[in-house]
Structure 1
Amino acid sequence: MLSREIEKNLNRIYHIARAKRHEYLTVEHILYAVIKDRWGREIIEACGGNIERLKENLENFLNHYIPRVPHRTEAYPKPTEAFQRVLDRAVEHVRSAEKPQADAGDVLASLMLEEESYAVYFLHQEGISRLDVLEYISHGVTKEDEEEYEAHEEGPRRKHRRDPLEAFTINLVEKARNGEIDPLVGRQTELQRIIHILARRRKHNVVLVGDPGVGKTAIVEGLALKIAQEEVPSILRNTQVYALDMGALVAGTRYRGDFEERLKATIKALKKKKNVILFIDEIHTVVGAGSASGTTLDASNILKPVLTEGKIRCIGATTFEEYKNYFEKDRALSRRFQKIEVKEPSVEETVKILKGLREYYQDFHGVRYSDAVLRAAAELSARYINDRFLPDKAIDVIDEVGAFVKLREGRKVVTLKDVEDTVARMAMVPPRSVNSQDTDKLRNLEAQLKSVVFGQDDAIEKVASAIKRAKAGLGSPTRPIGCFLFVGPTGVGKTELAKQLAEILGIKFIRFDMSEYMEKHSVSRLIGAPPGYVGFDQGGLLTDEIRRNPHSVLLLDEIEKAHPDIFNVLLQVMDYATLTDNTGRKADFRNVILIMTSNVGAREADKGVIGFGDRQEDARAKCLEAVQKVFSPEFRNRLDAIVSFSGLTKETMLRIVDKFIREIQEQLRGKRVTLKVTDTLREYLAEKGFDPKYGARPLARTIEKTLKDPLAEEILFGPLKAGGEVVADWKDGRVTFRNISDK
């Protein structure tokens, strides 16, 4: 019933015992046979045993403590009762388990019951228990190498374990000496503050709080690099910085207490050393780690007394959100740390950081970065990659553009075009909108707007002038690029001008219909619900949108329909370009063009002019008078311009008709149809589609009914089914089509 391999090893041990003239075959002989077995060795090693040391102990015992027969007598070793019991139990266990044969694992599990034997004593010295053996042969669960040394009542059962510092921490100073850490550029203020806190007598622990990607971990690595280079005060020389590996600490834990046991072993090993600093990245994860439901005991309670003793200095890193939601709520833990806020660096500081890292990325990618390329990477990443922070996103840009150029055949010099294309891919925006030079867009801004928005030249000039003034650096640095109130009759191009402005500048267009915010409570939807109300954890629609798209045109359509409280919210946006949401996070409006549209005064402007005055000027005056009645003085005073839109003329309507016809011609190109429209039809559409009260909005409906519907019949069922060239005309009160040539 024994396996062939274990039987062969037992037979070999019998011959060895006979050669050494042993009088008895003991349990120790069985253990010696087990360690000769491949499966037996695997079990012992998995349970934490050292095969060589165990073999040495067994050979020493067998050579010196087993009785021998005299030389004149033939040696036939007799099995002891314990020897026979071990094999009988193994066979009986296999039989009851309905296994075909007993292997080394079954024999070893049976042997562990002979607690009075030296074999079991040797196994205990290796820290192996019968439970460890059964767990491995039944479930494949290995004994954890990292359990700390524990002294037990039975005696000095030493466990030869791997050092917890090797298993669960990373020595950052050693990494720095090996050249595995990039240098720290800038951040001298934060670094000096850390050194000052670490030099304190009590509460010499630091928590770095900042947005993801601003360089919290890099600051600690920079400290380790300075320690390795001996560029720190004498109090920190010969100090070791150990980064706690939370993944290794948690991985493999199966039972309650495993995680805490590993953490305590690590802290105990740190306390034995002098001049150590423990770095815990994402330190908020220790709050609640290992706690059972309904209890308050967690990993942070292991740290608190250690930090109070002052034998270990600790540096933690976390984000503002996690610090508020987790770390700060544990007052006993947070008061032991000195908080240092790590702000996002400016574009200029980011450029210096990129210059400091340039040679490392040049050596890795085999490419060259010029100063202009590094500046473009910093500026474009700050402008277009909105969901991350500097310098992390700028470093990602130069890393990815380096990889892009490295994989390309030919020159190995990174150009501005490469950076622009890479940022466009990362930010998922059209490549043409990513341009390190905005001057070309601004130079032609006015002309391009006039080519798509007709009859509002005065309004376009005011908007373009304000934007150029801000872009030239002559505006206020603490205000948005521009704050405009567009007033005038409906359908004259107020919303269209805002759309086209965003399109030409290549930035995001954000529109809020203020008719959705007529109630007092709806203001909270823009900036977030207060604590205790539904939606508190979701943030505000306006603040979240601007935080994701800080370079944008923000249109608040029909602002007069909103609740007056919204005007008060907008005051600080127009004055200081910031808005704080319900979680305390600020949205930056400094790169936003704020446009509000309103129809106030449109009804008064519709009334006829008395006398011989100019109708357009009279309508504009009535609109401005209505604005003064509806909007408060402090609101009007913060606007860059109140832009009054004029009513549309016949010439303007003809240009709008031409714009719609060009759109139809573009749609028909895919159908292989060429459309031409006569002046008669153009004039009819302009006249029929214009209403002084509704502006140009009825024109779209008129074109659909008058031109598009008959044209659809011709394309689906008429001679244009296969394409062709057609002229549309207006005769006898209807549209007629004349087919010029079939294609």
Structure 2
Amino acid sequence: ADGGDVADDPLAAYAVDLRAKARAGKIENLIGRDAEVLRVIQVLCRRRKNNPVLVGEPGVGKTAVVEGLALRVNEGKVPAAIKDAHIYALDMGAVLAGTKFRGQFEERLKAVISAIEADPDAILFIDEIHTVVGAGATSGGSMDASNLLKPSLSSGALRCIGSTTYKEFKTAFERDAALARRFQKIEITEPSREETLLILQGLSEVYERHHNVKYTPEALQAAVELAHKYLRDRHLPDSAIDVMDETGAAARIGVAMPEISLNDALGSRGPDERAAEFSDDTPTAADAPPPIPIGVREIEAVIARMARIPPKSVSTDDRTVLARLEEGLQEVIYGQPHAVKTIAHAITRARAGLARADKPIGSFLFAGPTGVGKTELAKQLARLLALPFLRFDMSEYMEKHSVSRLIGAPPGYVGFDQGGLLTDAVSKQPHAVLVLDEIEKAHPDIFSVLLQVMDNATLTDTTGRKTDFRNIILIMTSNAGAQEINARKVGFADEGPQASDANKAIERTFSPEFRNRLDKTVMFQGLDQSVIQKVASKMLAELELQLADRNVRLTYTEAARDWIAERGFDRLFGARPMARVIDEH
């Protein structure tokens, strides 16, 4: 159509015949969804208001239901009432392309509607129907595309299937009651893991042929389970299909297996073989290479890349790391054997699958004097588990309004659409060690927010987006009880009373509902002289490495180390003064 004129055949120009597409074998089988397809057919067979609108989250299979219906119509597996139906998917890009003047868009759309009305077997499918509602309207104008549709929709002359998300349905349809009443809402819910596995089993043959791979049954099961667990911002079955597809692609070009590099995979073959590798033409049986087997390990590697987590964290076989966790922490954290043992056992228990699925991996309160290694233990834990380290200083959140910095400003305030610092950080790094330093300094309203995180592992920001905390290790540090721990009695008396006093101080500082949601309160002891010498050796070793990068060699005697340990030791301030002593001398 030149100059924006209407084409002679509007359906051929501005729509795609899904039945013809199904006949050409370009539509994949629809697995399951029988109840939803039957409901769509029932609505289409009504005398009036015969317009279903499929509503569901992105990726649950709304478009697939309509394509599956077209496939069943083509195969004759539908009731006689719609056995001759042709479903035309509106191509919004083609309708809009080349429209220069006011009214050309409406003219084209009207031509499509008239063509559909003229054919009693034609059904119009508008994917993302919210893009049509409001399309063509100028600011303040009422002539948008939905007003063109309304008369035909109401009379039953036009049969139209729409699809949209819950959010867009609320925005576009619920505000326009006249439009909403002409459509029958059909909810497409996210399939269960069992249903998703059946979908993957049904689709696997197509992907195996395309990538020349062979998925093991365990690999398909792992794709479903790991996609559900780690890709929480996506929906089944879309996320699991993506995992299966990308694993096939990775195996096809030789990057799924760690021992085969991309260069090795491509460099060992000639140009003709490389061209064949990326060609869509299926080779003949005689010269076809054997299919590449894909197991659980390859699925784990791809999930790790997609969810930005280390492969060993995805695998159920990270026993080596967990077995050495306590030993590894003891090597770098001095004078806190009880704290290290407590945290190592709690993490091991959680990673062994004994923790509840709807809570964070662990919620811990580290209490004790300043400078004894509370934050350092959290850092070393993140290092050993190969997780990102997120730290928030709670002294910055002492005011009531500071809660909005963590979860976002409320509607109507500046920065409403920017999200919160905490929710954004966890959304970007869903697998991390999260440290809230000096938690007792935070405003009481922040404790109320944390109760939700510790109890349900979710936090909803002010835009309504849910942030998943199930793969977060939450550590809060506090100096509560520090005075009681430092008030040691003279002589060889038992330290029990001090520990009891410290617990009472924690009880005074934190509410019962907060303490009740903690997995463990870990008490840190003050450091003694022998531990301080180890800390001095560690700091000097770090300084030695730092200077070595600048070609400066550092040597020191034991007497110098002891002198630094003595000068840098302060029962009240812990090991922090030692860094200052080293800097000064």
Do structure 1's residue 568 and structure 2's residue 439 form an aligned pair?
A: no
User: Cα offset for 1:256?
Assistant: 0.3
What amino acid maps onto 2:202 in structure 1? G
Are the counterparts in 2 of residues 386 and 549 from structure 1 also a CA contact under 8 Å? Answer: no
Are the counterparts in 2 of residues 243 and 281 from structure 1 also a CA contact under 8 Å? Answer: yes
* Residues 52-97 of structure 1: per-residue CA shift (max 9 Å, x gap): xxxxxxxxxxxxxxxxxxxxxxxxxxxxxxxxxxxxxxxxxxxxxx
* Residues 530-571 of structure 1: per-residue CA shift (max 9 Å, x gap): 332223333333334334443333322221111112222222
Do structure 1's residue 509 and structure 2's residue 396 form an aligned pair?
A: no
Q: Distance in 1 between matches of 2:109 and 2:77?
A: 31
Equivalent residue, structure 1, for 2:26: 180
Q: Identify unmatched segments of 5+ residues in structure 2.
A: 255-264, 269-289
User: Cα offset for 1:507?
Assistant: 3.3
Equivalent residue, structure 1, for 2:208: 362
CA gap 1:143/1:667 in 2 versus in 1, 3 angstroms = same
Are the counterparts in 2 of residues 185 and 353 from structure 1 also a CA contact under 8 Å? Answer: yes
Equivalent residue, structure 2, for 1:689: 568
User: Cα offset for 1:528?
Assistant: 2.8
**Local SS of the residue matching 1:217:** helix
User: Cα offset for 1:299?
Assistant: 1.0
CA gap 1:553/1:264 in 2 versus in 1, 3 angstroms = same
Are the counterparts in 2 of residues 384 and 551 from structure 1 also a CA contact under 8 Å? Answer: no
Q: Distance in 1 between matches of 2:189 and 2:333?
A: 42
Q: Distance in 1 between matches of 2:445 and 2:368?
A: 23
Are the counterparts in 1 of residues 17 and 88 from structure 2 also a CA contact under 8 Å? Answer: yes
User: Cα offset for 1:347?
Assistant: 5.2
Equivalent residue, structure 2, for 1:318: 164
Q: Distance in 1 between matches of 2:483 and 2:322?
A: 36
Q: Distance in 1 between matches of 2:193 and 2:532?
A: 47
Q: Distance in 1 between matches of 2:69 and 2:571?
A: 71
Q: Distance in 2 between matches of 1:325 and 1:537?
A: 17
1:41-60 matched pairs, under 5 angstroms = none
Q: Distance in 1 between matches of 2:332 and 2:37?
A: 54
Are the counterparts in 2 of residues 600 and 626 from structure 1 also a CA contact under 8 Å? Answer: yes
CA gap 1:271/1:253 in 2 versus in 1, 3 angstroms = same
Match of 2:238 among 392, 395, 410: 392
Do structure 1's residue 413 and structure 2's residue 293 form an aligned pair?
A: yes
Q: Distance in 2 between matches of 1:347 and 1:609?
A: 60
Are the counterparts in 2 of residues 213 and 389 from structure 1 also a CA contact under 8 Å? Answer: yes
Do structure 1's residue 296 and structure 2's residue 142 form an aligned pair?
A: yes
User: Cα offset for 1:289?
Assistant: 1.0
CA gap 1:637/1:167 in 2 versus in 1, 3 angstroms = same
Q: Distance in 2 between matches of 1:587 and 1:223?
A: 35
Q: Distance in 2 between matches of 1:343 and 1:646?
A: 52
Equivalent residue, structure 1, for 2:375: 495
What amino acid maps onto 1:699 in structure 2? M
**Local SS of the residue matching 2:215:** coil
Do structure 1's residue 246 and structure 2's residue 97 form an aligned pair?
A: no
Q: Distance in 1 between matches of 2:72 and 2:485?
A: 72
Q: Distance in 2 between matches of 1:541 and 1:550?
A: 14
User: Cα offset for 1:195?
Assistant: 4.3
Are the counterparts in 1 of residues 49 and 155 from structure 2 also a CA contact under 8 Å? Answer: no
Match of 1:446 among 326, 351, 372: 326
Equivalent residue, structure 1, for 2:285: none
Structure 1, 237-246 or 247-256: larger mean CA deviation: 237-246
Equivalent residue, structure 1, for 2:582: 703
Equivalent residue, structure 2, for 1:256: 102
User: Cα offset for 1:462?
Assistant: 2.4
* Residues 256-279 of structure 1: per-residue CA shift (max 9 Å, x gap): 011111111111111122244322
Q: Distance in 1 between matches of 2:26 and 2:138?
A: 39
**Local SS of the residue matching 1:582:** coil
Q: Distance in 2 between matches of 1:584 and 1:312?
A: 36
CA gap 1:376/1:257 in 2 versus in 1, 3 angstroms = same
* Residues 111-162 of structure 1: per-residue CA shift (max 9 Å, x gap): xxxxxxxxxxxxxxxxxxxxxxxxxxxxxxx344634xxxxxxxxxxxxx1x
**Local SS of the residue matching 2:213:** coil
User: Cα offset for 1:178?
Assistant: 1.8
Q: Distance in 2 between matches of 1:548 and 1:425?
A: 13
CA gap 1:577/1:218 in 2 versus in 1, 3 angstroms = same
CA gap 1:429/1:588 in 2 versus in 1, 3 angstroms = closer
* Residues 377-421 of structure 1: per-residue CA shift (max 9 Å, x gap): 445555555654443344333333323332344873335554444
Higher RCO (C-alpha 8 Å, min separation 6): 2
Are the counterparts in 2 of residues 146 and 167 from structure 1 also a CA contact under 8 Å? Answer: no
Match of 1:623 among 497, 502, 508: 502
Structure 1, 282-291 or 320-329: larger mean CA deviation: 320-329
Equivalent residue, structure 1, for 2:407: 527
**Local SS of the residue matching 2:564:** helix
Do structure 1's residue 597 and structure 2's residue 477 form an aligned pair?
A: yes
Equivalent residue, structure 2, for 1:474: 354
Structure 1, 403-412 or 572-581: larger mean CA deviation: 403-412
CA gap 1:656/1:343 in 2 versus in 1, 3 angstroms = farther
Q: Distance in 2 between matches of 1:495 and 1:683?
A: 25
Q: Distance in 2 between matches of 1:623 and 1:187?
A: 59
Q: Distance in 2 between matches of 1:704 and 1:431?
A: 40
Equivalent residue, structure 2, for 1:269: 115
Do structure 1's residue 279 and structure 2's residue 139 form an aligned pair?
A: no
* TM-score, L = length of structure 2: 0.84
What amino acid maps onto 2:418 in structure 1? Q
Do structure 1's residue 485 and structure 2's residue 365 form an aligned pair?
A: yes
Q: Distance in 1 between matches of 2:555 and 2:201?
A: 58
User: Cα offset for 1:332?
Assistant: 2.9
Q: Distance in 1 between matches of 2:227 and 2:544?
A: 38
User: Cα offset for 1:234?
Assistant: 4.2
Q: Distance in 2 between matches of 1:675 and 1:189?
A: 75
Q: Distance in 1 between matches of 2:39 and 2:383?
A: 46
Are the counterparts in 2 of residues 609 and 618 from structure 1 also a CA contact under 8 Å? Answer: no
CA gap 1:697/1:540 in 2 versus in 1, 3 angstroms = same
User: Cα offset for 1:618?
Assistant: 4.0
What amino acid maps onto 2:154 in structure 1? T
CA gap 1:503/1:278 in 2 versus in 1, 3 angstroms = farther
Match of 2:558 among 673, 679, 685: 679
Q: Could you say which structure has the larger radius of gyration? A: 1
Are the counterparts in 1 of residues 569 and 578 from structure 2 also a CA contact under 8 Å? Answer: yes
1:23-42 matched pairs, under 5 angstroms = none
CA gap 1:664/1:297 in 2 versus in 1, 3 angstroms = same
**Local SS of the residue matching 1:647:** coil
Match of 1:459 among 310, 331, 339: 339
Number of positions where the alignment pairs a residue of Structure 1 with one of Structure 2: 551
Q: Distance in 2 between matches of 1:503 and 1:330?
A: 54
* Residues 272-315 of structure 1: per-residue CA shift (max 9 Å, x gap): 22244322222221122111122132111112222222233333
Q: Distance in 2 between matches of 1:678 and 1:415?
A: 56
Equivalent residue, structure 2, for 1:537: 417
Do structure 1's residue 207 and structure 2's residue 53 form an aligned pair?
A: yes
Equivalent residue, structure 2, for 1:641: 520
User: Cα offset for 1:214?
Assistant: 3.4
Are the counterparts in 2 of residues 514 and 559 from structure 1 also a CA contact under 8 Å? Answer: yes
* Residues 477-506 of structure 1: per-residue CA shift (max 9 Å, x gap): 332222222211112222222233333333
Are the counterparts in 2 of residues 210 and 318 from structure 1 also a CA contact under 8 Å? Answer: yes
What amino acid maps onto 2:426 in structure 1? I
Q: Identify unmatched segments of 5+ residues in structure 1.
A: 1-47, 49-141, 148-160, 707-743
Equivalent residue, structure 1, for 2:10: 164
User: Cα offset for 1:337?
Assistant: 3.2
Are the counterparts in 1 of residues 485 and 526 from structure 2 also a CA contact under 8 Å? Answer: no
Equivalent residue, structure 1, for 2:398: 518
What amino acid maps onto 1:374 in structure 2? L
Are the counterparts in 1 of residues 400 and 445 from structure 2 also a CA contact under 8 Å? Answer: yes
CA gap 1:700/1:294 in 2 versus in 1, 3 angstroms = same
**Local SS of the residue matching 2:344:** helix
Identity percentage over the alignment? 56
